[in-house]
């Protein structure tokens, strides 16, 4: 449950229904009530700035005030700072400008680690490799720098340059100056043949490029022999409404219901499938969990209600609302304007009993309230819990730190070296003052072995290869394979 809490408190959900307006405090055309409100706000703002013992930066004070006002409406109405608004637009457009490298921070005081340079980007062309350490950005040490700060420094307008210092193995550090360029922000994280005849596609978000990416993945997997597919929407916080309708249209025949929008005022709007072409009848399983929200739930709900796919996993989050993105002089406001309903009439949006109940649904004892909203899978399959010691190690990112320091060791290359790998890692944990007993170690040993191989495969090969390693203990994916294999056997028998 701890993993669930961490995940959901960091989720950012948004839909692409845009209405534009701006706020300023010119009261020439304001009503009396509006003028009174503006006066009260200005007085309070001035009092805090002048008298508060611990006054905040004026911009931060304004941002927090606006955020507090909007959050009183519902849990998802909120204020976006200028930086957050910029990130939102990058997510929706599916691109940003930078050097094109996936980075991580193995430990609090370590330099930035290169996980993977994206093919075709400035970092890739300059020869950066997985496992490289970026020790400086524009002369600033990255050892005490958070990943978020490093990402912000590496991003910038197209054509501008950034100089980094790279440390590779035991060689001397060297400087590289890179010219920032457009970097694709892909919706499809992974796409591969899982086993004979079964293609696996993981969609991480819904943006402008999502439908084309999924279509290309389907075509490529079909060319490699895939006849059935697993669509992984777990941990997908959503995105653009049009992208969810377009994705459904890859699998649903023309004019089938996808979703309806019911506002507080006005007419209900109904959206229907545009019509599939070559994947209308392919066997399909969709994976969802508590991290699946908004556009993910629209897709899962539509495919379920139209009996087009088998939905496997756990109850989805329950965020089925339309949000108007309203640009302001600084940043933007997200305001809820309507709810989404599945073809069978299920309100995707979970009720707002309280903020605590909404953001921590697993703490709510009332089963009726727990069941409201979201998409219920056809087959409920819980994931195995990460053992407590392994979870502690994951949170501190010690798997990645160990692998980055030992990636050339022979115990990663052979199955019969697992005992040596575990022994070496056990000694490493002692240097990090991680306390555990033998029972805790034995309980976590299998997971630890896989997690180390995951991070090794990620650094040596690609994030996709690392992802595949953990599918060995993925109970939901195993169930999906079982369902598709059974269907295939039944079809042959018929």
What positions carry a catalytic annotation?
294, 305, 319
Distance of CA 277 to the CA centre of its chain: 29
Q: Rounded to 5, what percent of the chain is helix, strand, coil?
A: 40, 20, 40
Tell me, letter by letter, the H, E, C secondary structure of 456-484. Answer: HHHHHCCHHHHHHHHHHHCHHHHHHHHHH
How many residues are listed for the chain in this entry? 494
Strands (E), 38-187: 78-80, 95-98, 101-104, 112-117, 133-137, 140-141, 161-167, 174-179, 181-184
Residue 108 CA to chain centroid, in angstroms?
23
Beta-bridge partner residues of 96:
183
Sequence-separated contacts (24+) of 415-422 with Cβ below 8 Å: 418/449, 421/449, 421/452, 422/448, 422/449
Distance CA 284, CA 282 (A): 6
- Measured distance CA(175)–CA(190) in Å, rounded: 32
H or E element in which residue 133 lies: strand 133-137
- The rounded distance, in Å, linking the Cα atoms of 426 and 376 is 41
Q: And the tokens for 385?
A: 């819990």
Q: Report how far Cα 399 is from the mean position of its chain's Cα atoms.
A: 21
What count of Cα atoms within 13 Å lies in the side-chain half-sphere of residue 363?
A: 11
Nearest to 262 by CA among 205, 207, 337, 315: 337
């Amino acid at each position: 449950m701890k993993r669930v809490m961490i995940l959901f408190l960091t989720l950012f959900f948004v839909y692409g229904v845009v209405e534009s307006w701006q706020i300023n405090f010119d009261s020439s055309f304001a009503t009396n009530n509006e003028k009174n409100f503006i006066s009260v706000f200005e007085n309070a703002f001035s009092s805090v700035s002048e008298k508060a013992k611990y006054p905040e930066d004026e911009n931060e004070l304004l941002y927090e005030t606006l955020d507090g006002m909007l959050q009183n409406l519902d849990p998802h109405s909120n204020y976006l700072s200028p930086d957050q608004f910029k990130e939102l637009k990058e997510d929706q457009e599916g691109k940003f400008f930078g050097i094109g490298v996936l980075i991580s921070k193995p430990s609090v005081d370590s330099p930035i680690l290169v996980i993977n340079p994206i093919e075709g980007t400035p970092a890739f062309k300059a020869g950066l490799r997985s496992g490289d350490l970026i020790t400086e950005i524009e002369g600033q040490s990255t050892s005490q720098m958070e990943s978020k700060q490093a990402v912000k420094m590496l991003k910038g307008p197209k054509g501008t340059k950034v100089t980094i210092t790279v440390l590779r193995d035991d060689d001397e550090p060297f400087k590289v100056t890179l010219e920032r360029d457009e970097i694709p922000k892909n919706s499809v994280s992974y796409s591969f043949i899982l086993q004979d005849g079964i293609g696996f596609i993981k969609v991480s978000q819904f943006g402008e490029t999502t439908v084309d990416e999924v279509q290309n993945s389907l075509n490529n997997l079909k060319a490699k022999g895939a006849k059935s597919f697993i669509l992984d929407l777990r941990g997908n916080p959503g995105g653009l409404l049009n992208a969810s309708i377009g994705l459904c249209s890859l699998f649903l025949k023309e004019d089938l219901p996808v979703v309806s929008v019911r506002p507080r005022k006005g007419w209900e709007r109904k959206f229907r499938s545009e019509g599939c072409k070559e994947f209308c009848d392919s066997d399909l399983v969709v994976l969802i969990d508590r991290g699946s929200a908004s556009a993910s739930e629209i897709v899962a709900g539509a495919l379920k209600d139209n009996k087009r796919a088998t939905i496997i996993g756990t109850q989805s989050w329950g965020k089925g609302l339309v949000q108007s993105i309203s640009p302001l002089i600084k940043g933007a406001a997200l305001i809820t304007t309507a709810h989404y309903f599945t073809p069978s009439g299920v309100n995707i949006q979970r009720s707002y009993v309280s903020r605590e109940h909404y953001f921590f649904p697993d703490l709510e004892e009332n089963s009726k309230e727990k069941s409201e909203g979201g998409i219920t899978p056809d087959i409920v399959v819980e994931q195995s819990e990460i053992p407590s010691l392994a979870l502690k190690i994951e949170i501190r990112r010690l798997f990645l730190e160990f692998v980055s320091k030992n990636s050339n060791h022979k115990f990663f290359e052979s199955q019969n070296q697992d005992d040596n790998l575990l022994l070496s890692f056990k000694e490493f944990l002692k240097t990090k003052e991680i306390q555990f007993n033998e029972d805790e170690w034995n309980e976590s040993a299998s997971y630890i072995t896989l997690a180390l191989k995951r991070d090794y495969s990620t650094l040596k090969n690609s994030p996709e290869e690392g992802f595949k390693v953990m599918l060995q203990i993925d109970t939901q994916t195993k169930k999906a394979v079982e369902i598709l294999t059974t269907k295939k056997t039944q079809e042959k028998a018929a």
